[in-house]
Amino acid sequence: MGQNEYQRRRTFAIISHPDAGKTTLTEKLLLYGGAIHAAGAVKSRKAKRSAVSDWMALEKQRGISVTTSVLQFEYDDIRWNLLDTPGHNDFSEDTYRTLMAADCGIMILDAARGVEPQTRKLFHVCRLRNTPVVTFINKMDRPARDAFALMSEVEEVLGVSTVPFTWPIGSGDLFQGVYDRVNKLVIRFERSSEGQSKRAIMKVTGLEDPELDALLGEEAAQTLREEVELLDGAGEEWDQERFLAGEITPVFFGSALTNFGVEPFLRSFKGLCPPPGEREATGDVTVSPADDRFSAFVFKVQANMDPSHRDRIAFARICSGKFEGGMRVSHFRLGKEIRLNRAEQFFAQERESVMEAYAGDIVGLYDPGLFRIGDTLSTNGPMSFDAVPQFSPEHFGRLQLLDPLKRKQLQKGIQELSEEGTVQLFMEPGREKDPVCGVVGRLQFDVLMFRLEHEYGARVTFDLLPYQHARWVTGAADCAELKAKRVPMAVVDRDNRPVALFRDEWELGRAERDNENWTFHETARIVAAA
Ligand code: G4P
């Protein structure tokens, strides 16, 4: 116990495209981990559509979850922290920021669809910190793409090597289960009439075992032998170090819905997901989770969790030491000491107060307006992690105020909401009156309009701009210099840094080629202004 508590923490997130099976797999994970006791406890899609989350009136209107949440459960003497990333198409910068707090990712792919756009983006964000990613190829009970082709796609599109830990035995109606390559187990399932699966594990001495033909059928057994031989002969070797560096992803096949292949996946995941590791702080300081010094960074600020109180919760990831309710910490950005009272943690769907937490844990701190995304809190003096960057928005819109008399309210609103991280604010020199807003998920424009109207009394609309990428440019003096070099649109961010906007990757690539003395950054440091 005590300082070693961090060694039994596992903090991870699921990355996937909507509909790949994140909710279904999360539920299996919680069931397996004993955090919930019956299937259906995690919101089903139908329930999701009519979700009554009281966090924001907007959520009710749209019937989707705008927020990311943290689930915590205890299993096999491990404290699991699952950072939930919104799976809906309209995800936000919060999704990316959440990944900065995770030590490992589970990437779920739909076996019929392979790597989809949102998965690609989220994987890319994991890559920024070299976060290890474990792949689960789901829906093998449905017509699926060839397993080799799926692995090639992962390698080519995501630029990561693959090592299958399990291999599917058939697919679609002929899906029988998986071969566990590590333990050399054939794990076969039988479907019952209710669509449930009955587990039938058979340990085979080797794939030559003649009983395999009787078990799987001659043809399936033969195919499995050939495929596994191919993998053993030509496949990539497993290398733990390369996995931890984010260069190799172990691949599992299965069907979350019918439970095929879920158990071997979860069993292996326990061994693969690393405990909290070291984190770099500014000034070449390396923080070890074993350090006595408490340190944590805020990766998300959730406003208005309870509309009647207008309270805010700042979610902080602990990087070292122990959190204790009532402790005094340095707040780097504010340059002063503050007292942290109790914190919230999240057990399945319940919130509960905690008085202590350790490296790897996520705590929800009551926020009377002290915290911003990226803030570092620490004992033994101030320090800063710079753990959460500003990410390139993917949608841009010019804000139009509908009631010109409300300009003051608008200014206050966008200033506060950009500080809170709901939106990124840019100015085009010469058009300061019409700010440009950038968001990662389209829905954030709706969130912004809603909040500006309801919290600040300013009704606005957006003229969408045709840009998809922002790059913070170093090496160029200002916007005029960017414009002179055919950058489609040049703006400054709220810290007055020049930013180039591009319609597509082709335009971006051209600008990079034409201006080799400039550096185009897809993320930017959040400036710690008090
Ligand atoms: P998401 O959170 O990633 O968006 O996906 P979710 O788990 O909600 O799954 C999307 C749909 O795919 C759901 O069907 C779910 O039942 C189905 N699904 C998930 N895993 C599997 C699988 O392994 N095999 C098959 N065949 N289907 C799977 P739905 O009809 O849209 O919703 P629901 O009414 O069943 O909840």
DSSP 229-263: HHHHHHSPPP-HHHHHTTSEEEEEE-BTTTTBTHH
Are the C-beta atoms of residues 128 and 115 closer than 8 Å to each other? no
Instruction: Say how far residue 477 (Cα) sits from the centre of its chain.
Output: 34
CA distance 353 to 365: 10
Beta strands at 9-16 and 78-83: parallel, antiparallel or unpaired: parallel
| Token digits of residue 77 | 């003497």
Is any atom of ligand 1 closer than 6 Å to the C-beta of 18?
A: yes
pLDDT, tens digit, 9 for 90 and up, residues 50-93: 333 333 443 444 333 334 467 777 888 888 888 878 756 557 89
Helical segments of 194-318, H only: 211-216, 218-234, 240-244, 262-272
Tell me: the pLDDT tens digits for 337-360? 999 987 776 554 456 677 789 999
- Could you tell me the distance, in angstroms and rounded to a whole number, from the CA of residue 22 to the centre of ligand 1? 8
139 within ligand 1 shell (Cβ under 6 A)? yes
Mean pLDDT, to the nearest integer, of 93-108?
95
Pocket flag, ligand 1, residue 46 (CB < 6 Å): yes
* Nearest alpha carbon to residue 351 among 319, 300, 306: 306
User: Do the Cβ atoms of 93 and 99 come closer than 8 Å?
Assistant: no
Q: What does the pLDDT read at residue 262? A: 86
Residue 379 CB neighbours (<10 A): 20
Q: What is the pLDDT of residue 59?
A: 41
> pLDDT digits over 421-476, tens only?
889 999 999 998 889 999 998 888 988 999 999 989 999 999 999 999 999 999 98
Could you tell me the distance, in angstroms and rounded to a whole number, from the CA of residue 327 to the centre of ligand 1? 44
Q: How many A from CA of 151 to the centre of ligand 1?
A: 22
**Helix-strand-coil percent breakdown of the chain, rounded to 5?**
30, 30, 40
Structure tokens at 68: 């990311």
Q: What is the pLDDT of residue 368?
A: 83
Side-chain-side CA neighbours of 470 within 13 Å: the count stands at 27
Q: What pLDDT score does 61 carry?
A: 42
Q: Is 141 in the pocket of ligand 1 (CB under 6 A)?
A: yes
Domains of the chain: 12-70+84-272 (3.40.50.300), 279-378 (2.40.30.10), 395-529 (3.30.70.3280)
pTM over 0.85: yes
Task: Of 201-215, 257-271, 275-289, 314-328, give the lowest mean pLDDT range.
Answer: 201-215
Which DSSP string do the residues of 7-49 spell out, in sequence order?
GGEEEEEEEE-TTSSHHHHHHHHHHHTTS-SSTT-SPPHHHHH
The closest of 357, 358, 340 to 290, measured between CA atoms, is 358
Beta bridge partners of 104: 12
CA of residue 95 to ligand 1 center, whole Å:
21
Q: From the CB of 23, is ligand 1 less than 6 Å away?
A: yes
Question: DSSP of 392-442, one letter per residue?
Answer: PPSEEEEEEESSGGGHHHHHHHHHHHHHHTSSEEEE-TT-TTS-EEEESST
Atom of ligand 1 nearest to the CA of 26: 7
Residue 459, phi then psi, degrees to nearest 5: -85, 130
Convert the pLDDT of each residue in 365-407 to its tens digit: 888 889 999 999 999 999 999 889 999 999 999 999 999 999 9
Over 60: is that where the pLDDT of 42 sits?
Answer: no
Torsion angle, alpha carbons of 509, 510, 514, 516, to 10: 0
Q: Which residue's CA is the nearest one to ligand 1's atom 30? A: 45
The response to whether residue 44 sits with its C-beta less than 6 Å from ligand 1 reads: yes
Q: Is the pLDDT of residue 38 over 80?
A: no
- pLDDT digit string (tens) for 253-279? 999 988 888 888 988 999 999 999 999
Residue 119 Cβ contacting ligand 1 at under 6 Å: no
3-state secondary structure of 324: strand
CA 432/CA 438 separation, integer angstroms: 15
Ligand 1 binding pocket includes 19 (Cβ within 6 Å):
yes
17 lines ligand 1 (CB under 6 A): no
Residue 439 pLDDT? 95
Element (H, E) at 455: helix 443-456
pLDDT at 286 over 80: yes
Residue 511 clears pLDDT 90, i.e. is over it = yes
